[in-house]
Structure 1
Amino acid sequence: MNSDFVPIGQASKILGVSIQTLRNWEKTGRLLPDFVSAGRTRRYSRRRLLSIAGLTNQEAKEDQKTTIAYAWVSTNEQKEDLSRQIELLELFCAKNSFTYEVISDLGSGMNYRKKGLKKLLDALLNDKVERLVITQKDRLLRFGAELVFTICETKGVEVIILNKGDGAVGFEEELAKDVLEIITVFSAKLYGSRSKKNRELLKKLTETAKDQL
């Protein structure tokens, strides 16, 4: 018999499925033998099986989910903290033998269009993430972290927080900076107003925010 054709036993090994699965595929028309002898012996083209196996492996590779380790800081002054976060995340993922990708952001906590955050959300929504690892809960988003966690729960994504302390001091400092940022954005409009009351309100808000820094 031509070695280019193999019996059902060899075919099942090449494809990595059981003989019964091949028989079921034949019944449903999914994969038919290349020919069947008078004695009902089935033969499959080795070349065709290898091609099918290659496509199957490629599909499995494309469907493979990964671990995403996400790090974020809001200002350039915190770049050292960002580096520490990334180092901790890499050490943890490597120690646990995860297939992982580190995504990091540097930008305002009020900015929901950060490049890294958008990449993370796209991966979550497209079922590409097996688990999400962050150093602290407030290293994900200033506001809206619970929404991301809900998406993870819906998608069956495990969330790992390395340090479950609340990090309240850092949070309050960065929140105050975000408030100052909001005030700055609207300050021109407020100062442009004829209302002395608006100008006084702006001054008080600015002073309150700075007291938190």
Structure 2
Amino acid sequence: MLGVKKAIVPKKVIGYCRVSSRKQKDDLEHQVEAVRTYMIAKGYSFEIIEDIGSGINYTKKGLSRLIDMICNGEVEKVVVLYKDRLVRFGFELIEQICKRYGVDIEIIDHTEKTEEQELVEDLVQLLTVFSCKLQGKRANRAKKMIKEWLEDDSVDQS
């Protein structure tokens, strides 16, 4: 019995670029250009995935797509400008997933920050995320109260 030959799909090199907010769109463009230039110089055939969102948000569209591609065996290597551009916390977990699927992570700039710099950046990131969640809950509660008030007012006028 003849087996069906499966087409071998070449694995991709993925450049992953992320910034925390839309205000940093210019930084994202500079990051993409730096990663693109690096990968061209290395002779990689590549694709770049861009993300805008917190480094502790693991459900970002681009990161989710990257993880899916890794788990589907589509990725050979992930290239990031800085280690924290992939994720702020939990880099080791992403690294373990990559290792399990035979994917290398290549970090372009290994400039080390002091422990104090990293701690301050991490605290700012955490405070920003949690204050946004708190503000979002307050905003939703206020919208709900206004909606209820408007509904009550329309019932009273009937």
- Which category describes the TM-score, using the shorter chain as reference length? 0.7 to 0.9
The question of whether the paired residues in 1 share the 8 Å contact of 2:16 and 2:78 is answered with yes
Establish whether residue 183 from structure 1 lines up as the match of residue 131 from structure 2: yes
TM-score, structure 2 normalization:
0.74
More divergent stretch after superposition (179-188 vs 110-119): 179-188
Establish whether residue 136 from structure 1 lines up as the match of residue 82 from structure 2: yes
SS at match of 1:59: coil
Deviation digits for residues 63-108 of structure 1, max 9, x if unmatched?
2100000000101222221111100111111122211110010112
The question of whether the paired residues in 2 share the 8 Å contact of 1:89 and 1:135 is answered with yes
The question of whether the paired residues in 1 share the 8 Å contact of 2:98 and 2:105 is answered with yes
Aligned-pair CA distance for 1:174? 6.2
The question of whether the paired residues in 2 share the 8 Å contact of 1:69 and 1:134 is answered with yes
Higher relative contact order (CA 8 A, sep 6+): 2
Establish whether residue 100 from structure 1 lines up as the match of residue 46 from structure 2: yes
Q: Kindly, what percent of the aligned residue pairs are identical?
A: 33
TM-score, structure 1 normalization:
0.56
Q: Judging changes above 3 Å, is the alpha-carbon distance between structure 1 residues 184 and 139 closer, same or farther for their aligned structure 2 residues?
A: closer
Aligned-pair CA distance for 1:183? 3.3
**Residue in 2 aligned with 1:77?**
23
Establish whether residue 120 from structure 1 lines up as the match of residue 66 from structure 2: yes
Q: In the aligned structure 1, how far is the partner of 2:72 from the partner of 2:96?
A: 15
2:104 corresponds, among 158, 162, 174, to 158
SS at match of 1:89: helix
Larger radius of gyration: 1
Structure 2: where are the runs of 5+ without partners? 139-158
The question of whether the paired residues in 2 share the 8 Å contact of 1:138 and 1:171 is answered with no
The question of whether the paired residues in 2 share the 8 Å contact of 1:64 and 1:128 is answered with yes
**Residue in 2 aligned with 1:87?**
33
Number of aligned residue pairs: give it.
136
Q: In the aligned structure 2, how far is the partner of 1:83 from the partner of 1:174?
A: 23
The question of whether the paired residues in 1 share the 8 Å contact of 2:12 and 2:45 is answered with yes
The question of whether the paired residues in 2 share the 8 Å contact of 1:130 and 1:158 is answered with yes
